[in-house]
A and B are shown apart, each in its own frame.
Chain A
Amino acid sequence: MSANVTNADWAAVLSIAVLGATGLAVLVADLLARTFVRRYIAIAIAMIGIIAAGAIVFAQYGTHYSAFGGAFVVDYASVLFQGIVLLGALGSVILYGAIGEERRIAGALALMLWSACGAMLMSGAGNLMTIFLGLELLSLALYALCGIAERAGAHEAALKYLILSSTATGFLLYGMGLLFGATGSVALSALSNPALATNPIFWTGVGLFFVGIAFKLSLVPFHTWAPDVYEGAPLPVTAFMSVATKAGVLAVLVRVFLWSLPSQHVSDMLLPMWIVAGISMIVGNVGMLAQRDLKRMLAYSGIAQIGYILAALAGGSAEGFNAALYYFAAYSFMNLGAFAVAAMLSGDREEGSVIANYSGLGYRRPWAALAMTVFLLAMAGLPPTAGFLGKVFILRSSVETGYVWLAALLIVGTAISLYAYGRIVRAMYDRSTHPVPAAKPFVPLAALSAAICAIAVIALTFYPFSR
């Protein structure tokens, strides 16, 4: 790779730098700030930084070039994925307005921003090293985020996440090693060499690499950590994990497996991914059925939803990619919205994540209940939400590209999931008077976020892709 670095290279990662700097700024500001406003100052700074980064990212929309000798790529995909990462970060940061201990807010925010940096790095990663770097940056920050929370169960979650994630990273790393061995280069572009199509080392490498990816995406059978960690981690962190992390990892998945592999035998090479996706749809949705904790349920829901997204990618068609992106955007909004509603209802003990607390909500907090209904409808894939449209996109692309069995599994999974989501809706509109802890009357930031997400989830259905 050429050593000389141009300004264009720096421009490519400017947004990431801004985000990282914002993390530092938050910490510094926290030292100076007066006690009773520090929470809001920190959040404000973080949000400003995120929005600034977002502006920079979208300024690059439409441009296509690679920086640092191919280590980092700016293109349509990178911009969109980075956008979603920032969206996730924004939606999670805002939740700290309702949750968490005053004195730890700043640290948590900084960590979250840095973690987001990792995810953004992955979104544009052009070679194996960048991928690894971004992944580790993302993960380490997340371990810490779980660890520093004082919440009961957070530590256990941190430990489990640490050990299992590191193990998976080990597999991923070894896979990278094999790929490097097979190709003699760390650049993704080198993977597309037709000669590799029958190279056993290469195949093994691909397999191990996918293990690492599948773990981060919490696909069955590498999903086992997700429910526990989602339940244990603090609400904002869970929200972040469910959106930002997955955005970065998905970007890698697309780049490596869809755009870089040799075209020959590629369908054989990818078949296990689609099988895994199909299993995830079923297991994830079945897992939701008997849950009592909202975050845990959303973990299973996330497992299934990632399955849907992979189903869209299965064909490898452009339309499938669009479908996946659209559904993922919708997915981000509905998840962030659901977590926002949970935050609205949460006091210090996160009452909002206990499903039992939702019974009769429709009569106590009609607006919150309405928003929650919208998000659940969207997750279940019912109109008039983007969830429905996204699923139709996916169905169409997977049927057209001949993966009918994935479409069928998607429909079955959706049918099962309806029961689970329906349970919560039913609870919300049941007249049974359930003893409910005194939830905070009004959490402006969370409510705002919930409202925006609700509107977005419906607005996304208008004129999608009418270009």
Chain B
Amino acid sequence: MMLLLALLVPLAGAIACWALGPWLRNLAGWLATAAVGISFVATLLLWGAATQPGGVHLALFSWMSGFDFGLTLDPLSLLWALIITGVGFLIHLYSIGYMHGDRAFARFFAYMNFFIFAMMLLVLSDNWVGLLVGWGLVGLASYFLIGFWFERRSAVAAARKAFILNVIGDVGIMFAIFLIVANVHSIRFADTFAASATFGAPLLYAICAGLFIGAAAKSAQVPLHTWLPDAMEGPTPVSALIHAATMVTAGVYLVARCAPLWSHSPRAQMLVGTIGALTAIVGAILGTAQWDIKRILAYSTMSQIGYMIMGVGVGAYAGGVAHFFTHAFFKAQLFLASGLIIHALHNEQDVRKMGGLRARTPLAFWAILVGVLAICGIPGFSGFFSKDQIIQGVLENGHPWMYGVGLLTAGITAYYMFRLFFITFLGEYRGNVDPAQLGMAPEAVGAEVAHEPASTGSGEAHAPAWVMNLPVALLIVPSVLAGWLLFSTDGASSPWSRFFAAQFPTAAQASAAAVPEWATALIALGVVLAGIGVAVARYATRSAQANAVARLRDESLRMPKLLVNAFYVDTLIDGVFVRGARLLGSLFGRILDPHVIDGAVRGVAASAVGFGVLVRALQSGLVRAYALVIVLGVGCFLAYYVFGIPR
């Protein structure tokens, strides 16, 4: 019951906000927030039951034999549910301030609540179809919220892109479901995992591949990542909740959930680990080339999820999940804090036009500082523990090159995060500098103007209300401390690993690594410090700050095209698939249909009439001609009757 409550209350909130929006006005925000809060409490109350072996299970209904639906709550889904509702609660609260005065205030919260419902459905389902439904609905919610300011062309396009790429993911999962149902005749996880031992390697690999297409699309893994940066068209709280903390980590959840499948298929592990590593490094590299504060964070999200995927992919489940856990806090916090800045600067998102904001937005300053330290993995902050666990776990599961990639990425991450930090807060304010001097492309300027959302915050929210500050402040705590859950003097028995002992038995039997954990930590720290050093040298030195404008200008002008265009992945997809499809479509619609198919039909009719005319022509109207025809006919008859007699 509690479980249903946790699931359905947000849905009820969503429906209420959607239907009664015009009457609720600002109450909608509080209503929605309360709904999420209730859901959070309900989940929390289930903690005890969920951590029992077997967890909580609730059978709902059945379509037909093999299609039984139910909900389940075990440590894994419990963790996700708590993050979704908990962080979701804070972000709802924040949004009340951020979206204050928006023309579609109620609709926004309807969507947000709907998202919470969908995400809960995703993580609570005990079967593939339920998961897929949740999978699709979160995609829908993200579509709505990315395209929330739908009078903006760019937002509409971004929303569509996100949705379609996610549908590709859904389709991948559908394919996996075909395989599973065909072989297991049941859609429940339990039955599938029970039967998975009997699967042949190819089947298992195919299933994992299908599932991973879904995971990759949802979690913005290369090459399906292009929607995530564009998704920043949505309001900042959306980016924080959906595109940083929760939805995009659904892929991680899926892989972790399917640990029994992956751990039996080394090829699948290889695939996922590789993609994850690739995403991590690519995201990090692209992160160095961005100017829009939200896009920087977006790419960092992408790269961090790459870490997680890599971890869970190769079998370091505890580590990957842990990184999701910590990342949810500090990334949400980073987004919310940047939201404070954007808000304070009237929706200015380009870091080149910021600078010296420490005094103007102290809370944002501290929040972002903590977040940056956390994401870089400075010892003591949460990121440090989780990231180390992944890197170490990758090595323990025997993938040294991923280990290297992980370390490298850590360094780059450190560089661009501190770049963000320095450019934003050091030096003096550049908001009133001519964009051209900062090397901003004119159309970019145009974009900024068009960027003015419908009427967000309606100007007056310079000093954010407590509803906006409180969540940011609250989030600082876990982003510092969350990591300590993973800390333990002796490897296995950290509270974290005890929490997941039942979930991931495989995590225990990891081979002894070539490099001891403390060494890994030291190496990582070294790399990170190097990255920070570069950042300091480029942006934080006296001279750098002195002529920041010039520096930024030639940096942005000298930015490699390859990076600016994000390795041309978008261009490729657009050129090949989108244009190709439209070309085929117009070929069929404009030529094949009207001219070939209908042409044939018309031809038949015309020929019929032609014969008719021919017969008319033969009917000359001359008696003697007729007589002649008759006589000829008689001739033929006689020929037959006279010569055709049987003898």
Contact = CB atoms under 8 A, between A and B. Distances in A.
Direct contact of A and B (CB under 8 A): yes
Interface of A: 159-160, 163-164, 167-168, 171, 197-198, 200, 203-204, 206-208, 210-211, 214-215, 221-222, 224-225, 227-228, 265, 268-269, 271-272, 283, 286-291, 416, 419-420
Interface string B607-647: 01101111110010101011101101110111011101111
B514 interface: no
Contacts of A419: 605, 608
A210 B614 CA distance: 28
6 contacts: A197-B646, A203-B642, A207-B640, A272-B636, A289-B609, A290-B616
B623 A164 contact: yes
A215 B630 contact: yes
Interface in B211-257: none
B609 A160 contact: no
A271 B637 CA distance: 11
B612 to A, nearest CB: 3
Contacts of A167: 627, 630
Nearest to A205: B641
Nearest to B605: A419
Interface residues on B, range: 20 to 34
A211 B637 contact: yes
Contacts of A171: 634
A183 to B, nearest CB: 16
Nearest to B642: A204
Given A207-B638, A211-B637, A287 B630 contact: no
B563 to A, nearest CB: 66
Residue from A203, A215, A224, A271 whose CB has the most chain B CB atoms within 10 Å: A224
Contact of B630 (A221, A272, A291): A221
Contact of A416 (B608, B616, B621, B632): B608
B646 A289 contact: no
A411 to B, nearest CB: 15
A163 B641 CA distance: 26
A221 B641 contact: no
A208 B605 CA distance: 39
A230 to B, nearest CB: 12
Contacts of B636: 272
Contacts of A210: 637
Residue from B605, B613, B615, B642 whose CB has the most chain A CB atoms within 10 Å: B615
Contact of B623 (A159, A271, A291, A416): A159
Given A207-B637, A228-B621, A419-B608, A164 B615 contact: no
Given A160-B626, A416-B608, A290 B615 contact: yes
Contacts of A269: 641
B634 A208 contact: yes
Nearest to A264: B646
A153 to B, nearest CB: 11
B596 to A, nearest CB: 22
A224 B630 contact: yes
A289 B619 CA distance: 14
Interface of B: 605, 608-609, 611-616, 619, 621, 623, 625-627, 629-630, 632-634, 636-638, 640-642, 644-647
Contact of B633 (A159, A197, A221): A221
A167 to B, nearest CB: 6
Given A207-B638, A272-B641, 16 more contacts: A164-B623, A164-B630, A197-B646, A198-B646, A208-B634, A211-B633, A211-B634, A214-B633, A221-B630, A222-B630, A224-B625, A286-B614, A289-B609, A289-B615, A290-B612, A416-B608
B30 to A, nearest CB: 63
A200 B645 contact: yes
A271 B640 CA distance: 10
A207 B632 contact: no
A434 B244 CA distance: 72
A272 B619 contact: no
A197 B645 CA distance: 9
Contact of A221 (B611, B612, B632, B644): B632
A203 B646 CA distance: 10
Contacts of B612: 286-291, 420
A396 B634 CA distance: 31
Contact of A287 (B615, B627, B642): B615
Residue from B632, B640, B647 whose CB has the most chain A CB atoms within 10 Å: B640
A394 B593 CA distance: 39
Contacts of A200: 642, 645
B630 A268 contact: no
Nearest to B646: A265
B420 to A, nearest CB: 72
B621 A204 contact: no
Contact of B627 (A163, A272, A289, A290): A163
Given A222-B633, A286-B612, A289-B609, A203 B627 contact: no
A171 B646 CA distance: 23
Please give me the 7 A-B residue pairs with the lowest Cβ-Cβ distance, nearest first.
A289-B612, A290-B612, A207-B641, A224-B626, A221-B633, A287-B615, A203-B641
A289 B642 CA distance: 37
B452 to A, nearest CB: 55
B644 A268 contact: yes
A278 to B, nearest CB: 14
A208 B621 CA distance: 25
Contacts of A287: 612, 615-616, 619
Contact of A164 (B609, B627, B632, B638): B627
A420 B608 CA distance: 10
A5 to B, nearest CB: 37
A221 B629 contact: yes
Contacts of A272: 636-637, 640-641
B623 A283 contact: no
B615 A168 contact: no
Contacts of A211: 630, 633-634, 637
A375 to B, nearest CB: 21
Contacts of A204: 638, 641-642
Contacts of A227: 619
A224 B615 contact: no
A225 B625 CA distance: 10
Nearest to A228: B621
Nearest to A415: B608
B118 to A, nearest CB: 53
Contacts of B632: 221
B272 to A, nearest CB: 62
Nearest to A227: B619
Contacts of A206: 641
A268 B621 contact: no
A262 to B, nearest CB: 12
Residue from B614, B623, B632 whose CB has the most chain A CB atoms within 10 Å: B623
Contacts of B619: 224, 227-228, 287
A337 B623 CA distance: 31
B601 to A, nearest CB: 12
A290 B612 CA distance: 5
A196 to B, nearest CB: 11
Nearest to A221: B633
A73 B456 CA distance: 105
A215 B626 CA distance: 11
B630 A289 contact: no
B623 A160 contact: yes
Nearest to B604: A419
B28 to A, nearest CB: 55
Contact of A286 (B611, B621, B640, B641): B611
B381 to A, nearest CB: 81
Contacts of B637: 207-208, 210-211, 272
A168 B629 CA distance: 12
A206 to B, nearest CB: 7
Residue from B608, B641, B644 whose CB has the most chain A CB atoms within 10 Å: B641
A419 B638 CA distance: 36
A10 to B, nearest CB: 39
A312 to B, nearest CB: 22
A168 B630 contact: yes
Nearest to B621: A228
